[in-house]
């Protein structure tokens, strides 16, 4: 697993922290293709917090409709922009705590922005990482947030920069959701799932 590659970019390849955090907000419970359509439509209308607040909630919701939950997300985008401008001088925070104070931003999104946009050494936990970490026995957690907390506590410093990338690549290539390739997996002699099911 190669880890972080030279082409790894911010969420949905956005060029600045504001658009990265908004696109991450839009990606919640949305397929990549739908998120891409929503971000393209939204950022064709506005690319800064001030410009976004010039749009009505209805205009934002119409633009992001492909990504689902568009009414709630539109409301959170406007609230997020107000917080950025009113409390933070228009600057997206570079800490997990600061990002999680933004409306609509939870731990997963905060860690993804930290890792991809600000290149911080954190293991962002998405669906793939959560599944793999718990399946092979790196963590024992029911939720992605708990998986993230356990990985943060247990992962050695040298593994934090690329941990997200290793686990997600492994989850897409070998430890897939359905029919994991346990028989040919190079970790099967260390894997709790293989031991229990093999």
> Catalytic annotation on 126?
yes
Query: What is the sign, positive or negative, of the torsion defined by CA atoms of 99, 7, 173, 188?
Result: negative
- Among 108, 120, 121, 162, which one carries the catalytic annotation? 108
- Among 126, 145, 162, 181, which one carries the catalytic annotation? 126
- Under 8 Å between Cβ of 111 and 122: yes
Long-range contacts of range 71-76, CB-CB < 8 Å, 24 or more positions apart? 72/104, 73/25, 73/26, 73/28, 73/104, 76/25, 76/103, 76/104
Pair of tokens at residue 88: 């933070």
> Catalytic annotation on 108?
yes
First to last CA, the chain: 24
The residues annotated as belonging to the active site are 108, 126
């Amino acid at each position: 697993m190669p880890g972080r590659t030279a082409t790894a970019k911010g969420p949905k390849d956005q060029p600045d922290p504001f658009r990265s955090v908004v696109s991450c907000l839009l990606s919640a419970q949305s397929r990549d293709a739908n998120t891409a359509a929503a971000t393209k439509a939204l950022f064709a209308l506005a690319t800064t917090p001030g410009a976004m607040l010039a749009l009505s909630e209805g205009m934002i919701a119409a633009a992001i409709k492909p990504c689902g939950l568009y009414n709630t997300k539109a409301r959170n985008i406007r609230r997020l922009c107000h917080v950025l401008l009113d409390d933070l001088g228009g600057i997206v925070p570079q800490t997990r705590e600061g990002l999680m104070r933004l409306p609509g931003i939870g731990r997963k999104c905060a860690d993804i922005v930290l890792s991809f946009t600000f290149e911080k050494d954190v293991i962002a936990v998405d669906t793939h990482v959560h599944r793999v970490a718990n399946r092979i026995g790196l963590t024992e957690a029911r939720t992605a947030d708990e998986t993230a907390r356990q990985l943060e506590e247990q992962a050695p410093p040298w593994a934090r920069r690329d941990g997200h990338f290793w686990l997600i690549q492994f989850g897409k290539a070998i430890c897939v959701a359905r029919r994991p390739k346990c028989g040919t997996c190079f970790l099967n002699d260390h894997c709790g799932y293989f031991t229990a099911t093999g």
